[in-house]
Structure 1
């Protein structure tokens, strides 16, 4: 079982209350051996903590945010029976030919209905539509109460076949690195000096796999996720060779 002391030593004051709330669900699943889920979308630092630290425990941990690379997810403990998650996906389509809606417009319109952010997953917008994973308890409310965003009329429907949903998009580039140290990679990704990279790491503005980075000399591996606050989120891809100066060529995926 995960020790509560580990949780208390891991999370900042900003996240600790929600982390404890999730821990109580985890503890119930452990002690009773029953399926338990948390009925809200949890930020990545918290669900990743339970995924990583439950590998040797007697509790099965799963998460879903519908999209493969989703950051906000519902966490499900002991889903023995492969039960469905309490999630529905809504497509909000812009019907105007004269105005373009962006991510912030769609999200702001839904939140303006009085809905808490924790009831919504990651929002993916593509061309003239946005796709919202939402708690099933609020889906009908959104459909019945949102008909216009700004000056643009919108049409909302439930998407039942998740296989037709768009993927979270990213830009792929190749960078050359002298080493796979965290400070070196942050310097390259943020286009700043190594000294400045070290400073923002020390200030808690860099996350590795959704947890605050603590060691600027940490070696980064393939598939690690690096988030630099104010810059973006990146995934480390394959090493694809070296340059004449012995630098490593690494594929980087930046999420849009």
Structure 2
């Protein structure tokens, strides 16, 4: 690990120590895929508590870690607030991307670690942020690129929300990581292999560098700069021993 990764690991284990000694739940900032991998691969003997992760909805990529003492005597909630961003006038609104929304929020002086996923749909966006910054964002965010917008908190956001996705069905020889990825992404197996070996592929937030990693039903696979898929499982097996499977490719 490099210096920054070592410092992150120390911060996370310190949060676990504080949770243990004070008997309270402590939370990290939003962690990206690399940071989640550090969390998941830190040796168990360095943790003084167990931990869970969540990002505001079940399929989130950027997630906070919650460190939970054994004698937890109260219910807890992650300090995450969903904010909906909509154009004031759809007639004059530009077509805005994830990058546009992220840039507008960070231009308010907000660090990336305080921002979770940004979901774009139908000309608007749902933004997940640290709840301490929610009021500031709803008051100050008035424009994304050249589009005037309104930002308002969403208090009834469903945790089982699913982003838009495409269902893909197909036949594969095995349930290896590389074969399932080749069904979802229009790239050669050799290209996907190079992505895996280069550390660009994560399963459930954990870096996987083996092409032959066997997937389990419900696994979420993230390929950096390409997208995410959910492996739904085997539909049937053919007489020739191939598997008909289905995956969800998130848009």
TM-score, scaled relative to structure 1: 0.82
**Partners in 2 of 1:177 and 1:164 — Cα distance?**
32
**Partners in 1 of 2:204 and 2:159 — Cα distance?**
28
Task: List runs of 5+ in structure 2 lacking aligned partners.
Answer: none
Which residue, 52, 67, 72 being the options, matches 1:77?
A: 67
Residues 165 and 239 (structure 1 numbering): CA distance in 2 closer, same or farther, change over 3 Å?
closer
Contact 2:168 2:184 in 1 (8 A): no
Contact 2:33 2:202 in 1 (8 A): no
Which residue, 86, 97, 105 being the options, matches 1:93?
A: 86
* Correspondence 1:123 to 2:121: no
Listed as ranges, the matches of 1:12-23 within 5 Å are: 15-23=5-13
Contact 2:9 2:39 in 1 (8 A): no
Q: Displacement of 1:49 after TM fit?
A: 6.1
**Partners in 2 of 1:108 and 1:209 — Cα distance?**
27
Task: List runs of 5+ in structure 1 lacking aligned partners.
Answer: 1-10
Q: Displacement of 1:115 after TM fit?
A: 0.7
Listed as ranges, the matches of 1:1-256 within 5 Å are: 15-30=5-20, 32=21, 34-47=23-36, 50=39, 59-78=49-68, 80=72, 81-96=74-89, 97-99=91-93, 100-163=95-158, 167-256=162-251
Q: Displacement of 1:233 after TM fit?
A: 1.2
Single out whichever of 238-247 and 44-53 deviates more from structure 2.
44-53
Contact 2:58 2:161 in 1 (8 A): no
State the superposition RMSD in angstroms: 2.8
**Partners in 2 of 1:105 and 1:223 — Cα distance?**
31
Instruction: Using CA pairs under 8 Å that are at least 6 residues apart, name the structure with larger relative contact order, 1 or 2.
Output: 2
TM-score, scaled relative to structure 2: 0.83
